[in-house]
Amino acid sequence: MPIVEFRRDGEIGVIVVDNPPVNALSHAVRVGIMDGLTRAREEAAIQAVVIACAGRTFIAGADITEFGKPPKSPSLLDLIAALDDMKKLTVAAMHGTPLGGGFELALGCHFRVAAPNTRPGLPEIKLGLNPGAGGTVRLPRLIGPEKALRAILSGDPMPTKDALADGIIDEMIDGDLIAGAVAFARRALAEKRPLRRLRDMDEKLAPARVNPALLSELITPAIRRARGTRAPMACLEAVRNAVTMPFDQALKRERELFVELLMGEESKAQRHLFFAEREAAKVPDLPEGTKPREIKRAAVIGAGTMGGGISMCFASAGIPVTVVESSPDALKAGLGRIEKNYRATAARGGLTNEDVDRRMALIKGATELEAVADADMVVEAVFEEMPLKQEIFGKLDKITKRGAVLASNTSYLDINAIGAAAHRPADVLGTHFFSPANVMKLLEIVRGKETAPDVLATALSVARKLGKVPVVVGVCDGFVGNRMLRARSIEAERMLIEGALPQEMDAAIVEFGFPMGQFAMGDLAGLDIGWRRRKASGQRAEIIDALCELGRFGQKTGKGFYRYEGGARTPIPDPEVEALIVAISKRLGVTRRPIDRKEIVERMIFPMINEGARILEEGIARRPGDIDVVWVYGYAWPVWRGGPMFYADTVGLAYIRDQLAKFAAHSKDKNLEPAPLLVKLASEGRGFLSLGAKS
Ligand code: 3HC
Ligand code: NAI
């Protein structure tokens, strides 16, 4: 079949797009649709046109790979203008996810019919854009500007029932969609239904014309969520224009806003992440056709912070899970925390109480390891101690059935050593969830040197079932995320000793775009975890360890790098902490000096990038984009800065190399010396992304 087929069904012309996987509006598709519309217009026997798609979805938007390349006509706007000019009835036959430009094309038709479970939406904001082909001007005319702005700001596909109730879908079609759409067109012709062009409708705009403040109120949470990005404001302006300007003027301005954003770094960063996320799930050396093992039952060992969250992930995905704890009390406490978390979500309206009951019924508690005997996958989440983990994996080898996947949630430890203890290293790998495990999207999948291909494929498949974004990484201390975090932490402590204060450093990093500074984050997670680990391995971090020795573990003790009043989570700078830091500087013979925000940011971020370069060189991460996905989904790196490796390219590797060399000379820390890969790329005038990325 050609990429766009035109066929006749009596007096109805049918345009069918077939451009797998998601029928994106590539140039060839646009040409094909335009040809179809021209034919329909010119052939006298044709009275109506249906636009439909083959495959899994109606057009899911513009072809993102064409963004940033010279535009080729016809543009999507040309297609929609042709629909506007059409004197014959037009029907969009939608299924799957008609998104972005695809939905905008459908809004250019007189009518829209849909298969069950069709979820239209305008996700442009997730790519740092506003809808750019009439979405902000037509949708408000159809469903009112408030609802339209809400949908545009969320970017999420709409529930089918809402799309139907709001009149986006004129009729649901059960059975053959194209046949149903053709029948609909025939009926509409017979009934002489007026050709309803959204551009001509404006009664839904009236309330917002009277009270334009209505729209501004919606934007505040979106701006907070978007942390400094420009797309939400552009969406607001475009929808506001739809209310206050004539249609064509608002459409023209929408396009200008779209093009401005498209050319900017923020959207480029978000497009990079779109492809990086999809790329990260691909493992080139996984033999083609490798089948994941079937996971019908899971088990989690340890019901602490992570084990509880991981068990929730399985239960929420409908997979029965057995949770094993070391004592009845610990088990009771762990199961209690799980239920409390679910009930809190239900209280906020995110789940029904029946959902909670159903999920809790899938979670079975036990205090004997033997209870995992029938599990197809076991995730160990006990204390971060190698001997304990090895002991458990040794037992799992005897208890679990052959073919069970044995995973560890370790944050730092050597998966190969854990695999060896299990005596079947091919079945072992790391599944590193992030806290809170039921919320955070990242899953670092740590591949041991003997992990079997189908075990890796199983972890990838389970990740998708749990709604996680998987990134496959290799074995090293701390894997990708925590290894880079450590580089940042060492330099952060050095700056505290040289003269900066926690609140100054946190403010600099929040201004950079992180939702929280690293010291406020440390207080939230608990400073004692790292302290205990360092004590066990004979290491020391001067300032954090001094705080812990004073019992300042963070929020849980009401004091850490900051103090917290009356159980509140707001960090308050504490003169006691300043005095302690100043005393440490003095003891170490350091004369304190003010450190400005630029230096703070560079010394926090560049060492991470340097470590990222080493991680790439060592093959721990396969692609720069993998590292970016880890940081965006696991550590809240600002999406509009595209991840550390993307950001490095925007700064320029030569500058980063030179700054790192200065930092290294200043601190005599060999780790800060620019990594060979960074030096090589910088000297060739290249960036990390030149190592391979789709965007
Ligand atoms: N352009 C180019 N490629 C696209 C694409 C698009 N709009 N949407 C998806 N793809 C590609 C993906 O990169 C992936 O390629 P790969 O197999 O080589 O990795 C493949 O299609 C399948 O995508 P997913 O793995 O994401 O498939 P899912 O079934 O999980 O999801 C989807 C399907 C919901 C359509 C999801 O792909 C998606 O959200 N796509 C983006 C939709 C979007 O943002 N559209 C708006 C574009 S901007 C626009 O239209 C501007 C307009 O206003 C002018
Ligand atoms: P935690 O201390 O909250 O929970 C550990 C649980 O394991 C405790 O409830 C303990 O009773 C239980 N346990 C200990 N020995 C056991 C045994 N033999 N059998 C059954 N249960 C046993 O620790 P947390 O934070 O949940 O960490 C668990 C693992 O996850 C560690 O390896 C940690 O490094 C890793 N991790 C922790 C993250 C975090 O932010 N807390 C993030 C990612 C990974």
Q: Is residue 493 part of a domain?
A: no
pLDDT value of position 536: 83
Residues 635 and 684 in one domain: yes
- 101 and 236 belong to one structural domain: yes
The answer to whether residue 328 scores a pLDDT higher than 70 is: yes
Domain carrying residue 29: 4-262
Q: What is the C-alpha separation between 265 and 262, in angstroms, rounded?
A: 8
Which long-range contacts does 63-70 make (Cβ < 8 Å, 24+ apart)? 63/24, 63/25, 63/26, 63/27, 63/29, 64/24, 64/127, 64/271, 64/274, 64/275, 64/695, 65/694, 65/695, 66/26, 66/27, 67/262, 67/267, 67/271, 68/262, 68/263, 68/268
pLDDT at residue 190, rounded to an integer? 98
The answer to whether residues 459 and 332 belong to one domain is yes
Q: Considering only 192-201, 211-220, 434-443, which range has the smallest mean pLDDT?
A: 211-220
Residues 71 and 204 in one domain: yes
Per-residue confidence (pLDDT) for residue 694, from 0 to 100: 44
Torsion of CA 553, 555, 557, 562, to 10 degrees: 70
Could you identify the atom of ligand 2 that is nearest to the CA of residue 412? 34
pLDDT tens-digit profile of 461-495? Answer: 999 999 999 999 999 999 999 999 999 999 999 99
Q: How confident is the model at residue 695 (pLDDT cuts 50, 70, 90)?
A: very low
Residue of the CA atom closest to atom 24 of ligand 1: 278
**Does residue 456 lie in a domain region?**
yes
Q: Examine the pLDDT at 528 and tell me if it is beyond 80.
A: yes
Query: What's the half-sphere exposure (Cβ side, CA atoms, 13 Å) at 541?
Result: 25
Residues 571 and 634 in one domain: no
Mean pLDDT, rounded, for 247-274? 97
- CA dist., res. 344 & res. 628, Å (int): 32
Query: Among 610, 597, 581, which Cα is nearest to 688's?
Result: 610
- Return the structure tokens found at 694: 């789709």
Closest CA to 505 of 452, 543, 460: 543
Predicted pLDDT at 634:
97
- Whether omega for the bond prior to residue 70 falls within 30 degrees of 0, making it cis, is no
- Asked whether residue 543 falls in the same domain as residue 667, the answer is no
Question: Is residue 339 domain-resident?
Answer: yes
CA of 52 to the centre of ligand 1 (A): 18
For 594-641, how does the pLDDT look when each residue is reduced to its tens digit (9 = 90+)?
Answer: 999 999 999 999 999 999 999 999 999 999 999 999 999 999 999 999
Amino acid at 391: E
Q: Do 126 and 248 belong to one domain?
A: yes
- Percentage of the chain with pLDDT > 70? 99
Q: Is residue 596 part of a domain?
A: no
pLDDT score of 209: 83
Q: How many C-beta neighbours within 10 Å does residue 279 have?
A: 18
Could you tell me the pLDDT band of residue 366, with boundaries at 50, 70 and 90?
Answer: very high
List the catalytic residue out of 11, 42, 43, 104: 104
Ligand nearest to the CA of 440: 2
- C-beta atoms surrounding 357 within 10 Å: 12
Residues within 6 Å of ligand 1 by CB = 21-22, 24, 57, 60-65, 76, 97, 99-101, 104, 123-124, 127, 131-133, 135, 275, 278
Number of structural domains (the chain) is: 4
DSSP H or E segment with residue 215: helix 213-226
Whether 116 and 255 map to the same domain: the answer is yes
CATH of residue 679's domain is: 1.10.1040.50
**Nearest ligand (C-alpha, residue 21):** 1
In this structure, is residue 81 part of a structural domain?
yes
